């Protein structure tokens, strides 16, 4: 029997993924694509799309996977390529664990209803998950995470679910990008951005990472 990794069974974060119907349909398309057309598996690229530096930012939480920091995802330097709306802005205060290599000075504040979208980056089947740090700024705050893909049919937004936040900085659970499907449908690679929206209450996010290896 396949056992779950420790970090999926021992998290302190009060997190939940409220999967939307579109996410379920997307998962169904994954099964149908891989089962109905096995010959297309050769189109799936499992090599990293870029030469970004890798680290193990979630090791203390039992996750030994290597990750790369999304461009501007530590919110310490330029936010070029990020799209901010609804009052989203960089503010003083960072997650205290130094996951990006050192403890930073800033994070991203998301007032209720605000949204932030990362720059597009190359992904393939080697980019199955992403994680980030978050905390609430008010009671019952939640953040909705979405993956935005560029496809031959236009931009496609995949809602992944709502993450219930703690008043302390904590890493989220790993969240799937769905890159294996878009890898098949887009010739092996795709362009993806991550979108974060404060659904209820104000929230903060920091240090957004993507896992560059298929396990």
pTM for the complete prediction?
0.74
Quickly state the pLDDT bin for 160 (edges 50, 70, 90).
confident
Angle (CA) 113-20-181 rounded to 5° is 110
Shortest CA distance to 36 belongs to which of 215, 181, 186? 181
**Mean pLDDT, rounded, of the chain:** 76
Quickly state the pLDDT bin for 156 (edges 50, 70, 90).
confident
Quote the pLDDT of residue 54.
86
Angle (CA) 137-81-93 rounded to 5° is 30
Q: Can you tell me the mean pLDDT for 10-19?
A: 39
pLDDT at 20 over 80: no
CA 202 to chain centroid: 19
pLDDT in tens, 28-79: 443 343 334 343 444 455 565 666 788 999 999 999 988 989 999 999 998 9
Task: Tell me the domains of the chain and their CATH numbers.
Answer: 14-94+105-211 (2.60.120.260)
């Amino acid at each position: 029997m396949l056992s779950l990794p420790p970090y999926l069974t021992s998290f302190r974060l009060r997190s939940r993924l409220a999967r939307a119907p579109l996410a379920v349909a997307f998962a169904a398309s994954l099964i149908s694509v891989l089962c109905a057309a096995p010959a297309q598996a050769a189109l799936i690229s499992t090599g990293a799309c870029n030469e970004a530096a890798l680290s193990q930012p979630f090791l203390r939480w039992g996750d030994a996977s290597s990750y790369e920091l999304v461009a501007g995802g530590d919110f310490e330097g330029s936010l070029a390529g990020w799209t901010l709306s609804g009052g989203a802005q960089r503010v003083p205060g960072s997650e205290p664990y130094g996951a990006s290599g050192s403890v930073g000075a800033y994070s991203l504040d998301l007032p209720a209803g605000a949204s932030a979208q990362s720059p597009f980056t190359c992904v393939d089947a080697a980019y199955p998950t992403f994680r980030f740090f978050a905390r609430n700024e008010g009671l019952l705050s939640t953040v909705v995470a979405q993956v935005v893909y560029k496809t031959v049919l236009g931009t496609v937004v995949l809602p992944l679910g709502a993450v219930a936040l703690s008043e302390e900085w904590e890493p989220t659970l790993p969240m799937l990008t769905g890159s294996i499907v878009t890898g098949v449908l887009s010739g092996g690679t795709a362009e993806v951005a991550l979108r974060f929206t404060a659904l209820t209450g104000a929230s903060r996010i920091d240090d957004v990472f993507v896992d560059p290896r298929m396990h």
